[in-house]
Amino acid sequence: MHFFASLLAGAVLARATAVPSSESNGPTIHKFASAITDGALRYVNNSGICETTPGVHTMSGYVDTSSTVHTWFWFFAARNAPETAPFTLWLNGGPGCSSMIGLFQENGPCTVNSDQRTTTLNPNSWNTVSNMLYIDQPTGTGFSYGTDTIDSTYAAAPAIWQVLQTLLSSPEFSAYQSREFILATESYGGHYGPEFAEYFEIQNHLITAGKLKGVQINLGALMINNGWIDPLIQNKAYITFAQNAPGYGPLVSASTVQRMNNTYFESNGCLAQQQACYNAGNSSSSSSVCSKADNFCGSLFSAAVGNRDPYDLRQDSSEAFPPEYYVNYLGLSSVTTAIGATSSKYSECPDAPYELFARTGDDARTLLPQLGDVVDSGIRVLVWAGDTDIICNWVGNQAAVLAMQWSGKAELNATPLTNITLSGKTIAAVQNVNNFSFARVYAAGHEVPAFQPEAALAIFKQIIAGQPLHSV
C-alpha cells in the first residue's frame, strides 16, 4: 500500500568506479575506510549543486557498507554556526522512496525551477539552523544501489545504523559525534521513526556497557510528519476523515461512508484482519496474515481519496503541487557527475524495495508501542501533520498518539488543541505534554514543509531548542 509508492519500475543500478582526472574539471571522489564497520565512504566535496550559499560545506556520495550495498547520502552543513548546530537526519518514507524528495521539495537548501535545469536557494531550508543529512534507503531507492535484502522496518534499522556508524567514525564526520542528533522523517517514517529511534537507543546502551564497539548516537529528538504509525487506528480514521475532514467538509458521499464502515466492521473485515495481524506478532504466519490485512484494508484508503490528490484534498489526482521538477534535474548528467552519483539512474520510488516490505506485511504492523517507549525514554518527540493530507491524515495521527501507552497518556488526552501563531498568523493547533508534542498544521498537505515552509522551519527551530510548540 501507498505512501509515494509509484508505478516507476526499479532501475537496474550499475556500479561505476571511474574517478575524473584533474584535467577533466570533474569532481574528485575521495575514499575513506572505516575501522569500526569495515565500510567505505566515497564522496564529493562542495559540488556547487543546490547549496550555493558562500562558505557552506556540502558532501555527497556513497557509504559502502559491503561490496553489494552502496547507500547514497547528501550532507549540507548548517548555514549558521555549523560547529555547534545539531545534526539532523531526514528520511522520506515509501517504503522505498528517496529522501531527495525532502531535500528538493520540502526542507533542503534549494528548489528546482520550472526549467528543470536550475535551482533557487530556499530561505527556509532546515540547514539554516542544523547540519542536514539526507539518505536514500533501503538499497535500490533513489541513487542507492546494490543488493537489497531489507524486507521490513525491523531489518532497515540495523542497516541505517551501520551507515551512520561509517559516517560518524570517518574523519569527515567525526566532529559531529557528540552533537545532538535529530531524526526527522515522514509518511512511512511513522514506522521508521519509532523503530530506528528505539534501535539507536539499544545500541547506545550496548556501547555504554562495553558489549559493542561503535559511536553512540546522541539522539535528542524524533519528528514524524504525517506518519503511518498504527494501521488499525489510522484505517478507521479514513472513515472519520472522509465523512467530515475538519475545516474542509465531507470528502465522499454518505453511501460511500456506509460502505467504508461495512468494510471496516464486517465479519473478517479490516478491523478483524488488522487485529489478527497484531495478534500474529512475529510468528512464521505473520507475513501472510499481515499482507492479507494490508491488501484488504487498502480499499478504505482508495474510497476516502476518490479522484482527489491523496496528499492534498484540495487538489485533484494530477498532483500539481509540489511539482516534480527535481526528478528531471537529477537526470542531468552534469548534475550527477558533479555530485558523484554513480548509479545508472535516479529512481524516486522504485517498486522493488517496496515489494519486499509488502511480502512481510510490514505496512499492516503497528509501531505505536515503540513510539510510546521512545517518548517515555525522555527523547523529545513531535508528531505533526498537515491537515489537507488524506493518506496519513491528521485525524488518524492524533487518534494514534492519544491511544499511545506512555506516562503522559491521561494528561495528553485531557489537553485540548490550542492554536499557535507565526507573526500573528495562525499556523497550527498543538498539544504539548512534557517531552511530547502533537500538531495539526493548517493548510498543509502531506509534505508539510513544501506547503508551509515558514511554519515548518519555526516548528523545527522549537524542537531543536527543546521547547514546547508555541507562538512566535
Whether 187 sits among the annotated catalytic residues: the reply is: yes
The catalytically annotated residue of 136, 362, 363, 389 is 389
- Of 235, 237, 200, which Cα lies nearest the Cα of 218? 200
Q: Are strands 219-225 and 181-186 parallel, antiparallel or unpaired?
A: parallel
DSSP 389-450: -STT-HHHHHHHHHH--STTHHHHHTSPPEEEEETTEEEEEEEEETTEEEEEETT--SSHHH
Cell of residue 347, nine digits: 529512481
Distance between CA 361 and CA 122 in Å, rounded? 38
Distance between CA 327 and CA 116 in Å, rounded? 8
DSSP state of 10: P
Supply angle C-alpha 406, 228, 410, rounded to 5: 20
Residues 439-444: contacts with CB under 8 Å, at least 24 apart = 439/382, 439/383, 439/384, 439/385, 439/469, 440/384, 440/385, 440/387, 440/394, 440/398, 441/384, 441/385, 441/386, 441/387, 441/394, 442/247, 442/387, 443/386, 443/387, 443/388, 444/386, 444/387, 444/388, 444/389
Q: In whole angstroms, how far apart are CA 69 and each of 145, 196, 438?
A: 6, 19, 36
Distance between CA 29 and CA 41 in Å, rounded? 10
Note whether 85 and 130 are within 8 A (CB): yes
Cell of residue 261, nine digits: 464502515
DSSP 359-400: HHTGGGS--HHHHHHHHHTT-EEEEEEETT-STT-HHHHHHH
Whether 446 sits among the annotated catalytic residues: the reply is: yes
The catalytically annotated residue of 187, 287, 343, 437 is 187
DSSP 244-305: -BTTTB-SS-HHHHHHHHHHHHSTTSHHHHHHHHHHHTTSTTHHHHHHHHHHHHHHHHHHHH
Determine the distance from the C-alpha atom of residue 296 to the mean position of all C-alpha atoms in its chain, rounded to a whole number. 25
Distance between CA 345 and CA 353 in Å, rounded? 15
Beta-ladder partners of 429: 419, 440
Distance between CA 76 and CA 79 in Å, rounded? 8
Q: Tell me which residues are annotated as active site.
A: 187, 389, 446
